[in-house]
Amino acid sequence: MCGRVAQTTTIERVIELTEIAGKLDMTPHYNIAPSMELIGIVATPSGDKHWQKFRWGLIPHWAKDPKIGFKTFNAKADTLAQKPAFRDAYRKRRCVIPVDGFYEWQRLGTMKKPYFIHNTDGMPLMLAGLWESWNDGTGQLFSCTIITTNANSLLSEIHHRMPVILDLSDIDLWLGPEVNPQVASLLRPLQGGSLEKFPVTHKMNNARYIEPDCMAPLSD
């Protein structure tokens, strides 16, 4: 799973990297949990890309209660096309969530040890996601989910799942108007040695703790 992320890189820097322009306030956040706000990239049917604020936890357009989002903050890559909560968004509403890194926990007996995972070069990770627009009659709410796949060799030491991480060059394909074998081929574990993991403070287990040291490495 992927249940916590950090978004601290300025929107100006992410715009520079992705070449997707736009104006959007992006306050650095070191410990984002489901139901909180995420910033992502979406595309219109004509292919124009823009930035969008989301509530983390997908609320399908047919949902009667937004609380479903507490169960849909992740979507398994291997069942996107079958699960009612995700299949329509997979076909039509894919998004990219740029993060500085994500957190995962290693279970050690009755304890869980938190780790932060990020790019060794400090570049943001581009996570594959889905988005929806939901309206209960009082207003429009945009929500998203982060897609997960099997863990690679680095992450499998602490957990069996990891988010799908896209190359910058794959963003256009992922946000394209159709699902095809090329799009499906992106739903794979990231390979190679570009990721690093290190243990972090247990204080970040509390989603209300949002200090910069959430991302600071601890000695094993």
104 is catalytic: yes
The DSSP call for residue 124 is P
CA end-to-end span of the chain, whole Å?
23
Return the C-alpha torsion angle 96, 38, 200, 167, nearest 10: 10
**Amino acid at the residue 164:** V
- Please state, in angstroms and rounded to a whole number, the distance separating the CA atoms of residues 31 and 53: 16
DSSP state letters, 44-65: -TTS-EEEEEEEES---TT-S-
144 is catalytic: no
Q: Which two tokens stand for residue 152?
A: 């690679």
Q: Which two tokens stand for residue 170?
A: 């794959």
**How many beta carbons lie within 10 A of that of residue 138, not counting itself?**
6
Which one is catalytic: 104, 132, 144, 214?
104
Catalytic machinery residues: 2, 104
